[in-house]
């Protein structure tokens, strides 16, 4: 940095010394060299961008998380965890954890997505909600929707206050 400033000062002083009276001595080769020097300086120092606030970063990651969960259906994996989601989204575990705190926790968020998926499947497969699902079919559907077992499914179903949970209860009970 010091040598760059020293070169700039030396060239500027040299240009001032070469001027005679009010008519400067023009040297085309030196002028082209000075222009390259100025262009070189612009390239070396990129524009400094102000850092985004934490809220902006969290909103961007949250939107990316939602898109990723929907597009790749990560919630169908029964062994999904916070670290894996953070890696897949391209963020760190702390940011994902902060986002999940706003969404009532990681498990709750994932279970809501699973229940919504299950309700959509039930709507497609069963035309009449009054026909109750046989237990064997229900177990297959529960594992296909990412729940580990009947216990985790029931816990998610009865803790949820969404319309999807009520719809599923209509198909089951």
What is the reported pLDDT for 83?
Answer: 92
Q: Are 83 and 133 within 8 A, CB to CB?
A: no
The residues, ordered by sequence, that sit 6+ positions from 90 with a Cβ below 8 Å of its Cβ are 64
Whether 8 maps to a domain, the answer reads yes
The structural domain count of the chain equals: 2
Q: Are residues 40 and 60 in the same domain?
A: no
**pLDDT of 17-51, one tens digit each?**
444 444 555 555 555 555 544 444 444 444 545 56
CA atoms in the 13 A half-sphere facing the CB of 109: 22
| Helices within the chain (DSSP H only) | 2-18, 28-44, 54-72, 82-89, 93-102, 106-125, 135-144, 150-159, 163-172
pLDDT given at position 41:
44
Q: Residue 155 domain-assigned?
A: yes
The CATH code of the domain that includes 65 is: 1.10.10
Give me the pLDDT at residue 56, please. Answer: 85
Domain that holds residue 65: 54-172
pLDDT tens across 62-115, in order?
Answer: 999 999 999 999 999 999 999 999 998 888 899 999 999 988 899 999 999 999
pLDDT at 11 over 50: yes
Are 145 and 76 within 8 A, CB to CB? yes
**Residue 132 domain-assigned (yes or no):** yes
Reported pTM: 0.66
Position 20 scores a pLDDT of 46
85 and 157 co-located in one domain: yes
Residue 18 lies in a domain: yes
Residue 161, in any domain of the structure: yes
């Amino acid at each position: 940095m010091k040598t760059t400033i020293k070169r700039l000062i030396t060239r500027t002083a040299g240009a001032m010394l070469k001027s005679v009276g009010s008519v400067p001595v023009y040297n085309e080769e030196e002028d082209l060299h000075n222009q390259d020097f100025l262009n070189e300086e612009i390239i070396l120092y990129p524009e400094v961008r102000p850092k985004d606030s934490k809220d902006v970063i969290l909103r961007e990651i949250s939107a990316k998380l939602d898109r990723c969960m929907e597009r790749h259906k990560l919630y169908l994996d029964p062994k999904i965890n916070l670290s894996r989601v953070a890696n897949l989204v391209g963020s760190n575990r702390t940011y994902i954890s902060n986002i999940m705190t706003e969404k009532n926790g990681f498990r709750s968020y994932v279970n809501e997505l699973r229940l919504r998926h299950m309700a959509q499947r039930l709507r497609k497969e069963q035309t009449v909600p009054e026909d109750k699902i046989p237990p064997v079919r229900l177990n297959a559907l529960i594992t296909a929707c990412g729940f580990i077992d009947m216990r985790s499914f029931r816990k998610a179903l009865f803790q949820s206050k969404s319309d999807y949970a009520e719809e599923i209860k209509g198909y089951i009970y």
